[in-house]
Amino acid sequence: MLNRPLPLLIMACCLPLSACATTAETLSVYPSTLPGLQRHVIDLPAKDTESDYQVELIAGKTLQIDCNQQRLSGQWQQQTVQGWGYDYYVLQNVGPGISTLMACPEQEPQEAFVQVAGEPVMLRYNSKLPLVIFAPQDVEIRYRLWSAGPTWPAASQ
């Protein structure tokens, strides 16, 4: 009877220890490089109610654009560190995307951040693990935090 609870007790004691690892120790389990891609790391600060927050990943490039709406093409993939279960994100195939085709005869091109098109990458807020993203060298990774409101209104019937 004593043999059964012991493995569960050991597992329960090990879980909090892994959560206390420093960022450098935690980062060591992630790939340090992927061919042709640069690693980006986002460390989120601890919050009281992290379940009320989400993180949106935004990738893009600063380009010279005219009056047309522009987006880049790209493909996000979620990968998992084998043996650890930690997720990381890979952005590949970033290239020319879509653009409206309006004439802009009197507007000079200006610098602006052009996003990768597609569904937004929304992630659960977790300050215990870094967000690790791999993207091509010339791509910027930005993020935005979303939070739930303090009330939960009821739906009308």
* 11 falls within a domain: no
* 83 falls within a domain: yes
DSSP sequence for 55-85: EEEEEEEEEEE-SS-EEEEEEEEEEE-TTT-
Q: What is the CATH number of the domain that holds 59?
A: 2.60.40.550
* 18 falls within a domain: no
**Number of folded domains in the chain?**
1
Q: What is the pLDDT along the chain (157 residues), one digit of tens a residue?
A: 444 443 333 333 333 334 444 567 889 999 999 999 999 999 999 999 999 999 999 999 999 888 888 899 999 999 999 999 999 999 999 988 788 888 888 888 899 999 999 888 999 999 999 999 999 999 999 999 999 988 888 999 8
- The domain of 126 spans 38-147
- Rounded to whole angstroms, the Cα distance separating 15 from 50 reads 19
* 131 falls within a domain: yes
Give exposure, 38-64, as e/b (b: 16+ Cβ within 10 Å).
ebbeeebeeeeeeeebbbebebbeeee
The whole-number pLDDT of residue 125 equals 98
* 17 falls within a domain: no
* 29 falls within a domain: no
* 90 falls within a domain: yes
